[in-house]
Amino acid sequence: MSRHAAAPTSSFARYDSTPHGKESMNEIAAVIFDLDGVLTDTAEYHYRAWRRLADELGIPFDRAANEAFRGVGRDDCLRLLLGGRTVDDFDELATRKNRYYVESLSALTPDDILPGSTELLAELKAAGIPVAIGSASKNTHTVLRGLGLDDAFDAVIDGTLITCSKPDPEVFTKAAAALGVTPGECLVVEDATAGIEAGLAGGMWTLGIGPLSRVGAAHAVVPSLDGLTWARIRTLIDDGAWTLRRPAGADPDQHLETILTIGNGHIAVRGTTLEGRPGEQPASFMHGVWDDMPVSRSELANLPRWWGMDVWANGARLGADPSRIADAWWSLDLRTGTLTRTLTWTPDDATTIALVDERFCSLDQPHAAAVRLRLAVTRGDASVHVRSGLDVHVDNLGLRHWDLVDQSVDGLTVTTVTRTRATGIELAACAVLRPDESAIESCDADGQPAILASAILSEGQTWQATKYVALASSEERFDRRTRVAEIAATSARAGWDALAAVNRQAWATTWHASDVLIDGDPAAQIAVRYGLFQLLSVAPRLADSSIGAKTLSGFGYRHHIFWDTEIFMLPLFTFTQPDLAARMLGYRWHRLDGARRKAAASGAAGARFPWESAGTGDEVCPVWVENPADPANLIRIWTGDLEMHLGADV
């Protein structure tokens, strides 16, 4: 619903909350294990049985195809194998496959229990944590007897007791009921995509065993149970309750870019890739840096691109061929506002590189941000080139706001000074690069000062480069050019770990006042923390500003501060961080003149706060906008003219 048309409605849910004065741990009362691939590797026996049946049917089948069978019931697996073919002997085929599988199970012994499983089960029993098996296999009891684990579990729910296979959560919800606990108090341990989906659908915590490409949707991921203790699992799940993890697809996803926006109350940056790709909507914004625009009158100017790095390996550019990128995942740590991407890149057929890039905007030093790139060559050799700098050739959906005033490259430091074209706000930016051993060249193209770091890496070598950034505008009353140079240089001297540590501590203080603990509902726990993060990360800490309807996450509503900021957003800060609440109210106080001008324009005395506000406090709600269905016709927007009672909320 358009905010230009009517006021939004809202609904509220009530949750019990606990003050964040104690360790943040979510309650886990029981653990439900999948069997195949978690406690024992009967998955290999399943594969061989399916492969034998497929060969008999003349159907191509390999290990890649077998991945889709993990955690899925026998009949559903057979349907996958047949691929839509209709057969008269379906039941006979399913029975035949099962016969092949069961025949192989006669060789099972306790030696086939996967490392770490026996120790973890013993530790859970000693701690009084009930455990269950939740498996789609109808041979679960046969497998458990062969492993010597038939008496190790308090409940066993297998394929004979369910009607729906994973990703339906039935097997896990029945296991929870058998243990006498609610689903939200259970941890599911799974190695299959379908199993993780089932656990999540059942409202449970999930621990994925295996690669991110298969179990990355879990709250926590480990390679195996080997060496894993109950205390370590609790820590991993608690970490997962603060983490938003999403696959990074080959195609740009502007909605996901918005979701992954991070900030520090002064600067925010959308979750676009380090290297930049066509179709993305890259943007970073700073409170108070307004500039004029048509129709919507005023918006925050997209900052020069400070977070980017261009990467080449063996002549191939990262992102130029998305098909050469695999296992790509985003991870947003809500505790620290750190966004991480991991991926595997094959720049050519002979080379594989594991890449990790991280970024955060420092809550301890609101002018500062940092970006780190790590490259590990896992196969072949790589000639690597990384270009890092500042790029002022940015726009707001096609509208350019910046004129270049000055730029420089000095050693490993680049600087730019730009000025908004209408409001004349000046922005100084400085970026210091700290690469591992490299050959260094300077690149001083107009509006794009940069440094090129080059290195030759052999298989097994790791190389990293860290970029320390500082930005300040003329809205702040100090020598911004000197100040950003000092901040970036100080950050570089301190290093990533020290900068991240003080950022982590600043966030810990903020969360101590703001966190809400929700037991028994993993999805709600993460959702509430994400919502809190979206407000905490953009509440102005330096600028004379407030929070817009779309915060600093993109171009929606042109960052305008709407009439309902005080009713929907302010209460969080009033009760948890009154200093930030006072700053937000100060924004309104300092713009009383704009409210008085609006009242006078309508023939009224006093103050009439606008439907949409920007830098001056005058009404910036657009009067006419294009009709999305027919751009040749305009739509009249009346809220800025006629609305009165809602604006009185301010």
Catalytic site positions: 34, 36
Comparing CA positions, the residue from 237, 229, 199 lying closest to residue 124 is 229
Phi/psi of residue 399, each to 5°?
Answer: -100, 120
In degrees to the nearest 10, what's the CA dihedral of 211, 215, 217, 221?
Answer: -60
SS3 282: coil
Comparing CA positions, the residue from 511, 573, 500, 497 lying closest to residue 541 is 573
Comparing CA positions, the residue from 611, 608, 640 lying closest to residue 624 is 640
| 496-534: burial string, b at 16+ Cβ within 10 Å, e else | beebbeebbebbeebbeebbbbbbbbbebbbebbeebbb
Supply the DSSP symbol for 7.
P
Comparing CA positions, the residue from 108, 115, 202 lying closest to residue 157 is 202
Tokens of 105: 């199970």
> What radius of gyration, in Å, describes the C-alpha atoms of the chain?
28
CB count within 10 Å of CB 423 equals 17
Comparing CA positions, the residue from 103, 111, 106 lying closest to residue 49 is 103
Helix (H) and strand (E) counts in the chain: 19, 29
Cα–Cα distance between 223 and 91 in angstroms, integer? Answer: 36
Residues 6+ away with beta carbon under 8 Å from 473: 286, 288, 289, 425, 426, 427, 428, 480
Furthest CA-CA distance within the chain: 91
Beta-ladder partners of 431: 414, 469
Residue 164 Cα to chain centre, angstroms: 31
Tokens of 66: 């077998």
Residue 482 Cα to chain centre, angstroms: 34
CB count within 10 Å of CB 639 equals 22
Cα–Cα distance between 160 and 541 in angstroms, integer? Answer: 59
Supply the DSSP symbol for 6.
S
Residue 571, exposed/middle/buried by CB under 10 A (0-12, 13-18, 19+)?
Answer: exposed
Supply the DSSP symbol for 559.
G
